[in-house]
Structure 1
Amino acid sequence: MNNRHLLFALHQLPGIGWKTIQRLVSRFETLDDMRTLEPREWTQFGFTPGRAGQMSSALRELSERTLEDWLARYEREGIRWLTVWDADYPALLKETADPPWIIYGKGDFSLSGRLCIALVGTRTPTVYGKLTAERLGESLANAGVCVVSGMARGIDSLSHEGALRGKGGTIAVLGCGLDTVYPPENKALFHRVAEQGLLLSEYPLGTLPRAGLFPQRNRIIAGLSVGVVVVEAALQSGSLITANLALDYSRDVFAIPGPIHSAKSQGTLKLIKDGAKMVTSPDDIMEEYASRIASEHSAYIKDTKETLGIMAEDERKIYELLESGPKTIDQLLGQSQFNFGHLHAVLINLLMMRRIVELPGSAYTIP
């Protein structure tokens, strides 16, 4: 067996983590040599005596037939796997400090070579967060960007939904094996991403979701992307882990401002105070990567209106109020009868769609 197949085989065995593989790869130029290790030698890799004996037996007894059976299962599931040694392993991900030794994918692997931007945020978004994630995902995808997220409830799922309506594609990085739909209510989204985008995981088939796997998943989201956008997040949100990882990887970090009284905006507001780029329009993101946008999408940089679609009912109501002339936010509150949070969400979406512009003194007008 060659190193690539032995790495795959190691990955199928329970209890083999990233650091164990690192130690084995560092010690053995040819991984086949590890199959001769005695149980007591396996204890040097952090295994208990009982588990060391199991590892020794499993690798000594590993046969070509067993390997073929494992490989056949992945093929039946339509899953492709890449090792960190493969030429078509995602280049940006390989640059990180701890890239997955193996990634498993179902769908269009070429998306990982596109300009990828991650959208992340709370699992329990406000109406404002929901609208923003979906619209931003769609706008970025229509500009040719591949939207990366983690298919969690809330902002992640909405970002994927928006991107699927665009044409740039989307990658969902899972915290479990590709044979598990999590959360269960995302079953339809799971299959749509597999058909129109890419499902990705570093975990072998049969791996069930558990809390400790999701922070590890976040490093892949950050590693695949040139930038991470935090859409809506509280101060303790796990999406801030992804933003911090992006900084560690020298990637760009963006944040969308929200109402100062909303707990769900405190994480993004802090990021902005700490130096993240504030986003009030997709152009705030796209201008950072203008030279990498494909020529067929260059018109987006000049005028995003062509990719915006139809305004929602509440957006049209505010737009029509502004047709008579500029108005302050207080005037809009009184005339629309919206509450502040909802009005703020509608205004942000109209700004992102470039249907309106903000004037000094918290006033708005049609350009």
Structure 2
Amino acid sequence: MSGFSNKETLIWLNKIRVSNIATNKLLEYFENISDIWKISNEEILNIGCIRKSVRQKIISNRQESILENALEEIEKNSINVMTVLDEDYPDRLRYIYDNPTVLYYKGYFSEIDKLSLGIVGSRKATSYGKWASEKISSELAELGITVVSGMARGIDTEAHKGALKGKGRTIAILGSGLDIVYPKNNRKLYDKICECGAVVSEFPIGTEPFPANFPQRNRIISGLSLGILVIEATEKSGSLITVEHAIEQGKEVFALPGNINSIFSRGTNCLIKDGAKIVMDIEDILEEINEFNHIITKQEEEVDYSQLSSMEIKIVECIKKEPIHCDNIVYMTGLDISTVNSTLTILELKGIVKELPGRVYVLS
């Protein structure tokens, strides 16, 4: 057998789907894990710290071509690889249960990422949830806090977009190989994250986004973060698996309250009921995590009313409180619908308000 390095050997074990737990046992067993290429099949069968099925998998896949093909795929896709043996491997991941022995990534990790918050939530997010995810992420990013999420539809996507809008860093943890963008319509977002953060996966190149992969990747989202914020979740949401990992890892858990009649807020409201920290604004997060205590939040910029008409001011005052449907603006202001619609259009052109799906409006 050829003289492959320890790092290359870990890539091979990952490629043939030897679990992280079994691989870590092999790291303890061998002084140099690359020795696994040199010993006999009989010696492999006598390794007592791993199951017989794993030993047989190693023997049947101990082929140089498998590793060589994996290394070619990595180079072809311009992917970086980090292993648990590397000094720059994230410290927070070293000590979590089932820590990933191999991380594939595009982009780069930074010292800044030590100040990070995970944001997760429903794929079928409401306008309120999407707005809150983008707003909170943007405000955190402006303060130098890295936003970690999973690049799924809904809340995750808006969290990444918000961080980018705030000119900050964001890290996406995928449930597929790095060569597969999922969902496909997040291709531009994927590329942008690579420029302003990192896209990361523990799954080898070519791994499809199987449902079972997503609960597994959630422990990495919480592992890299100082805390987890859940924005909208049903009672059986996958986001709650991330919360379980966060609790096991001793991380802070936050939840955004929502409408008690919405199924998408049942999970978050229950988290608050069970002791999660309620989040009304980012100060609720900053004051709870010691590493964030030194960060001074920026004062919200007040809307300049000097250039607004009385009708525009009335409408802005309604929208300042929360995302609001245009029908509710009509009710609260007493203005007729045509006046409200035309005034909202003018405010949009002035860059003061923004329309969300469903005729819901927020301040820009």
Q: TM-score normalised to the size of structure 2? A: 0.77
Is the contact between residue 286 and residue 292 of structure 2 (CA under 8 Å) also seen in structure 1?
no
* Structure-2 change in CA distance of 1:41 and 1:283 (3 Å): same
Alignment check: 8 A CA contact 1:111 1:169 kept: no
Partner of 1:143: 143
Contact 2:12 2:67 in 1 (8 A): yes
Counterpart CA distance in 2 for 1:42 and 1:58 is 17
By how many angstroms is 1:106 displaced?
0.2
Contact 1:153–1:183 (CA<8 Å) still a contact in 2? yes
1:271 is paired with a residue whose SS is helix
Alignment of 1:38 onto 2:35? no
Q: 1:259 to 1:29 in 2, by over 3 A?
A: same
Counterpart secondary structure, 2:288:
helix
Q: Which residue of 2 aligns with 1:62?
A: 64
| Partner in structure 2 of residue 18 of structure 1 | 20
Letter in 2 for 1:86: D
Mapped to 1, the partners of 2:173 and 2:135 lie a distance apart of 20
Further displaced range: 72-81 or 34-43: 34-43
Identity %: 41
Distance 1:200 1:336, change over 3 A: farther
CA distance in 1, matches of 2:20, 2:206: 18
Residue 132 to residue 302, structure 1, CA distance change in 2 (3 Å): closer
Amino acid in the other structure paired with 1:4: K
Distance in 1 (alpha carbons) for counterparts of 2:237 and 2:105: 27
One-letter amino acid of the counterpart of residue 27, structure 1: Y
SS at match of 1:199: strand
Query: What's the counterpart of residue 188 of structure 1?
Result: 188
Amino acid at match of 2:45: E
Per the alignment, residue 319 of structure 1 pairs with 316
Partner of 2:344: none
Q: Do the aligned residues in 2 keep the contact of 1:287 with 1:301 (CA within 8 Å)?
A: no
Match of 2:297 in 1: 301
Partner of 2:173: 173
**Residue of structure 2 equivalent to 1:115:** 115
Alignment of 1:1-367 (within 5 A): 1-13=4-16, 15-35=17-37, 36-38=39-41, 41=45, 45-46=50-51, 55-59=58-62, 61-62=63-64, 67=67, 70-110=70-110, 113-289=113-289, 292=292, 298=295, 300-301=296-297, 303-305=299-301, 318-321=315-318, 334-335=331-332
What displacement does 1:87 show? 1.1
* C-alpha displacement of 1:10: 1.6
Aligned-residue offset at 1:29: 2.5
Q: Deviations over 1:187-216 (max 9, x none)?
A: 221111122221000011111110111111
| 1:70 Cα offset (Å) | 3.8
Residue 350 of structure 2: aligned partner: none
Please say which of residues 74-83 and 31-40 is displaced more in the overlay. 31-40
Which secondary structure does the structure 1 equivalent of 2:118 belong to?
strand
How far does residue 56 in structure 1 lie from its aligned partner after superposition?
1.8
Residues in 2 aligned to 1:258 and 1:85: alpha-carbon distance in whole angstroms: 43
Q: Does the 8 A contact of 1:112 with 1:224 survive in 2?
A: no
SS in 2 for 1:305: coil
1:183, 1:113 → 2: CA distance? 25
Q: Is the 8 A contact 1:111 1:170 kept in 2?
A: no
AA aligned opposite 2:297: I
CA–CA distance in structure 2, aligned partners of residues 29 and 193 of structure 1: 38
Find the residue that maps to 2:269 and give its secondary structure: helix
Please give the alpha-carbon distance, in whole angstroms, between the structure 1 residues aligned to 2:330 and 2:236.
31
Q: Take 2:314 and 2:161, find their aligned partners in 1: how far apart are those partners?
A: 25
Runs of 4+ aligned residues of structure 1 deviating over 6 Å after TM superposition are none
CA distance in 1, matches of 2:255, 2:223: 18
How far apart, CA to CA, are the structure 2 residues paired with 1:91 and 1:55? 29
- Partner of residue 325, structure 2: none
Distance 1:260 1:333, change over 3 A: farther
CA distance in 1, matches of 2:132, 2:314: 18
Q: How far off is 1:235 after superposition?
A: 0.7
Counterpart AA for 1:301: T
Give me the whole-angstrom Cα distance separating, in 1, the residues matched to 2:159 and 2:313. 22
Deviations, residues 142-195 of structure 1 (Å, cap 9, x unaligned): 111110000111101111111111122100000111000111121221111122
RMSD after superposition: 3.0
The 2-side partners of 1:183 and 1:47 are apart by 37
Structure whose residues are more often helix by fraction: 1
**CA distance 1:271–1:26, shift in 2 (3 Å):** same
Runs of at least 5 residues in structure 2 that lack an aligned partner in the other structure: 303-311, 321-327, 335-364
Retained in 2: the 8 A contact 1:143–1:293? no
TM-score of the superposition, structure 1-length normalised?
A: 0.76
